[in-house]
Structure 1
């Protein structure tokens, strides 16, 4: 599931910044005033791909560049939510929980607390391994060697792709193959991490995560 940030009503809610990485649901507050949903043009609404995203201030900001937004959203949905479509090769890609794991790692390395919360929550729920996800959130990617080999290899690869400059190389591919990933699964792992290695940086430049007071 792609990250869809929302901003609660500031007049009714006090905000505080999250103190650490978490799987809890967070809001997101933009630093720039986004267009109102009713002010979006038909072209901008179409670029959201999913009309319900008009509720998100983040996506309304991105709708100021509709062509770029549409490309961004379709890439996100293909790589992270469904995996790249491969007619006749169903079942050979990376399972959804591990695509979410790869996205979580990129977000953790980049320091994007909002995106990490969304993808860590999905990785934990779908993969039924919340303790290991929480370990990564708490200790960072250095904790990868405490995981079983398949998850460790995915974490190593995602972290290498996210580094500046990237350090992903043939050794990462070999490690992924050793733990049983097919070529299609490796492409999904790379796509999920690479997409969020970029998308986190965009989100971090436009606003910040917030925790509503309960």
Structure 2
């Protein structure tokens, strides 16, 4: 048995001054309304909204991949995002998606096993998802028919596999945006 991992939220610090909501243009305000959060609009969103058109395109796609009803279970999408974020070195996204996985699955065993590098404690489905996320993130061409077979053997159908590929792939992009536009730490 391994201990539970404790993941405190990180704070992201932008390198580019975020748009202040009070000074945002009508187009920027409309773009920020696409954000699915019921919380305040984050510094990350306010940084991306310097280009409202690309922000809306990115966010509509992100929402369709990560928050769509049906298909792959949300916890499995978060596990794919976590695996990609770890490989891509994005601590901020890794913490966010680890916490979401724990929240959705109501169990921290999978995340704890991953953070304590105990893949042997993952069930076949979680191991197949996590390994696929790692391989697809390191070198997409290394993902193979054997990876797809492992996902199928773990009970995933083709639609769920496509959903997982989308979740992993969008974090190749999202993690790189986070790295280029700022950095994360524990300080607020």
TM-score normalized with structure 2 length: 0.87
2:113–2:122: 8 Å Cα contact kept in structure 1?
A: no
Distance, in Å, in 2 between the alignment partners of 1:47 and 1:177 is 38
Partner of 1:160: 135
Change beyond 3 A, Cα 1:113–1:39: same
Partner of 1:207: 182
TM-score normalized with structure 1 length: 0.77
Superposed CA offset, 1:28-86 (max 9, x none):
11122122112221212222313867631211111112121111111111111225xxx
Q: Given the alignment of the two structures, is residue 113 of structure 1 paired with residue 97 of structure 2, yes or no?
A: no
1:101–1:123: 8 Å Cα contact kept in structure 2?
A: yes
Which runs of 4 or more aligned residues in structure 1 lie more than 4 Å from their structure 2 counterparts after TM superposition? 51-54
1:108–1:137: 8 Å Cα contact kept in structure 2?
A: no
Partner of 1:192: 167
Deviation at 1:166, TM superposition (A): 4.3
Among residues 142, 146, 157, which one is paired with 2:121 in the alignment? Answer: 146
Distance, in Å, in 1 between the alignment partners of 2:108 and 2:171 is 21
User: Greater helix percent: which structure?
Assistant: 2
Distance, in Å, in 2 between the alignment partners of 1:24 and 1:156 is 25
Query: What's the C-alpha RMSD, in Å, of the aligned pairs?
Result: 2.1
Deviation at 1:114, TM superposition (A): 0.8
Q: Which runs of 5+ in 1 are unaligned?
A: 1-20, 84-90
